[in-house]
Structure 1
Amino acid sequence: MTVTLPPKYDAVEFAAVDDPYPAYRRLRETGPLCRGGPAQWVVTRYADVAPLVGDERLGAEFDRDYHRIALGDGPLADFFGHVMLNRDPPAHTVLRRLLGPEFTTPAVRRRRVRIDAMVADLLAVAVEKGRFDAVEDLADKLPIRVLAEFVGLEAADIDAIRPRARTLSQAFATYLAEAERAETVEALLWMREMVGALFEAKGRPAGDDLISRLREVDPAVAERQALIDNVVFLLFAGFATTTDLLANGCAALAAHPEQLAILHRDPDLVPRAVEEMLRFDAPVQVKSRLVHQPIEIGGRTIRAGRVLVLHLGSANHDEARFERPADFDVTRHPNPHLSFGGGGIHLCLGAALARAEAASAFTFLARRFARMESGGPAVRRHTPNFRSYLSLPLLVSPP
């Protein structure tokens, strides 16, 4: 008797492909599951992924051995054991309550004027010269400037934080290659020291920012190191993923000039366009979950202790859920993409902030420019689990 195994999903192999979505389609066509790494199953279809992102039989908290295998011994494994993304209740509940107030929709809305001003300042080069690099001039700078004010960072630290936050993002892949571990540890230690110094600064005046508030948290509620590590995590998560949303969105508009024309005629469609950017080329492609109770997917029972890799990028292009999923359509509505995790307790804390930054940037671009096209070769950043660019030169022209 011949047993046909599900296809194998290799995150590193897929990361090297500029356009992995046709390959994702082929995986969906073969069945609901793919084989991943040891004790891993990859879920590719929307109908399966959507309910699983909030399924209480799955958890986000892995034991230290899991992080040690993926990241090596040392501070990275400890760090990942602290961050809210990888904690389940009750620890997750406490951390989300402590970190959340600055990131609610009303709190973000109050800062929209400042975000608009930052966008106008950063895109002045595009207005003046008719060209800009979507990464260097916009995406790499806006999120960290916004986060600096939210978190309470010194403006002088921004340029030093940005490359280290990007380096630290390597550790959020399914597996961190040995060659990349030393520089990633160095980035983590630097960011821990920098954030820790802000917590400990004796003469630091209290302000309307996250660190000012967290400094007052009783250690019995949350340990200081856990709070420091979660601020470090926010600097990565709020920077890298929003950076990639902005760059991927610019790339999509440049490749589909008719869609920019629609936004130029009606900038009020920008919020829908942002949702389509999130669906079309999601910055974060997968989420990993630990199976706590046996769960059936496509006729196969996944045992407790196994890992499910929920493939958000594949689910967002599933023909069974989205009409013409390969088309970039800024008017698409409704758009139930899963790019912020879909739902449940682990819904992305910074979703409202990322949407606000993207809405501000693309409203500016839609109003000021009628055309946006390639200004030179784009350079992809090929990393497992993420979709991003190193460089994206663009030409723009007014009406």
Structure 2
Amino acid sequence: MTGSVTLPPKYDAVELADLDDPYPVYRRLREAGPLCRGGPAQWVVTRYADVAALVGDARLGAQFDRAYHRIALGEGPLADFFGRVMLNSDPPVHTVLRRLLGREFTTPAVRQRRRRIDMMVDDLLAPVADEGRFDAVTDLADKLPIRVLAEFVGVEAEDIDEIRPRARTLSQAFATYLPESGRAATVEALVWMRELVAAMFEARRRVPGDDLISRLCEVDQATADRQALIDNVVFLLFAGFATTTDLLSNGCAALAARPDQLVILRADADLVPRAVEELLRFDAPVQVKSRLVHQPIEIGGRVIRPGRVLVLQLGSANHDETRFERPGELDVTRHPNPHLSFGGGGIHLCLGAALARAEAASVFTFIARRFARMEPEGPAVRRFSPNFRSYLSVPLRVTPS
């Protein structure tokens, strides 16, 4: 008599997206084994040791066949767009794009702009001290990252309010699967942003400035075609906006719910960089990364064949008890903190990591120095997504120092 085969547990991204707190589910999945079943030809990796080893593994790639994007996003410009962007490319294309775009986002380049970022934060949060309340999403997180990116890229100030809602709509296409009901609006947002960025290229070609697009206008067509550059600037505008927005709103919500941690920061604002890393770990804005298997790879005794997709669950790995003590607790003094929220390592490490850290450090330094208390004024409202942890609203009450 043949014994029954025990299958790995099923990972349901849509079901998890509807949970306000998915971390207990992640824990049960980690306890059940190193792999979970995902969608067709898809395996989900949830344990820290495995995810950390895989994010930079050369046997995996980020570049998927266009047919894969068409299945997830439908026919039309979305699939074409996602096939062009640096996030979904491998060398040599990825190497070229990262070299062209990355120089603007190095730690030294960001450090030179820190004073300007501090000024923007002060403009947004200084009035809050007098009013005694603000919404961490609408009054801060939705405004700061897009303003910072606009100066980096070369966006005109009058276009910022038009870009913001379209960038958020376009971020929906990051999901593992975009329902047909959301595709028309997402395509419309993409087309609008492509046209805007194309017009910016033409304007900077005629009258260069001190910005990313002006420098990209100097790139030889043999190095990277113009449409690829346009699409990757569009990608920067929505990827850098959405993820940093979520870092700021998630962080404000976490600190407001745990006043003891804000007390620690008020006593020693030099701990803010550690706090930023802990907030990234505690509720990672980007929860998953998908990778295509190019060579056979063994995980937990199971060999994953080429052509399969591995979904690396960063949010679960960041709460793995075998790597982090008390992972369910927010500890702004935690050090070291080897979280995987920016993708861990390898060539696909988040391009805007230094910029996101700088913006978060500026915001939470202001809060630590200028607010004696920061508390929830009402229930926060989640924005549910299979790939992201974010909020629609985080109403807060503050007492100035």
Give TM-score, length-normalised by structure 2: 0.99
Per-residue deviation, residues 15-56 of structure 1 (Å, max 9, x unmatched): 100000011000000000000010000000001000100000
Report the Cα offset of residue 205 of structure 1: 2.5
Instruction: Find the counterpart in structure 2 of residue 33 from structure 1.
Output: 35
Match of 1:173 in 2: 175
Q: Percent identity?
A: 82
Aligned-residue offset at 1:398: 2.3
Distance in 2 (CA, whole Å) between partners of 1:259 and 1:396 is 15
Moved over 4 A (4+): none
* Equivalent of residue 108 in structure 2, options 106, 109, 117: 106
Contact 2:50-2:299 at 8 Å conserved across structures: yes
> Could you tell me whether the CA contact under 8 Å between 1:134 and 1:392 is conserved in 2?
yes
Give 1:221's match in structure 2, choosing from 220, 223, 238: 223
8 A contact 1:125–1:132 mirrored in 2 = no
Say whether 1:379 aligns with 2:381. yes
Give the Å deviation of 1:202.
6.5
Q: Which runs of 5+ in 1 are unaligned?
A: none
Aligned mates of 1:323, 1:157 — CA distance in 2: 45
Aligned twin of 2:240:
238
Q: Which deviations, in whole Å up to 9, do the C-alpha atoms of 1:314-341 show, x marking residues without a partner? A: 0000000000000000000000000000
Aligned to 2:322: 320
Q: Contact conserved, 2:204 with 2:214, CA < 8 A, in 1? A: no
- CA distance in 1: counterparts of 2:221 and 2:103, whole angstroms: 19
* SS of aligned partner of 1:2: coil
Offset, 1:204:
4.8
Give the CA RMSD over aligned residues. Answer: 0.8
TM-superposed deviation, 1:171: 0.1
| 2-structure distance, mates of 1:332, 1:205 | 48
Does structure 2 conserve the Cα–Cα contact (< 8 Å) formed by 1:150 and 1:210? yes
Structure 2 partner of 1:308? 310
Paired residue secondary structure (2:63): coil
Counterpart AA for 2:291: R
The alpha-carbon deviation at position 128 of structure 1 amounts to 1.4
Aligned residue in 2 for 1:359: 361
Provide the C-alpha distance between the structure 2 equivalents of 1:213 and 1:116, rounded to a whole number of angstroms: 25
Q: Give the superposition deviation at 1:126.
A: 1.2
Letter in 1 for 2:294: H
Q: Which residue identity is paired with 2:81? A: F
- The residue correspondences of 1:1-399 to structure 2 (distance < 5 A) are 1-201=3-203, 204-399=206-401
Paired residue total:
399
User: Residues 213, 202 of structure 1: CA spacing in aligned structure 2 closer, same or farther, 3 A cutoff?
Assistant: closer
Residue pair 1:125, 1:131 contacting (<8 A) in 2 also: no
Give, in whole Å, the separation in 1 of the partners of 2:179 and 2:128.
Answer: 38
Q: Structure 2 unaligned runs (5+)?
A: none
Cα offsets for 1:356-396 (capped at 9, x unmatched): 00000000000001211111121100011100000000001
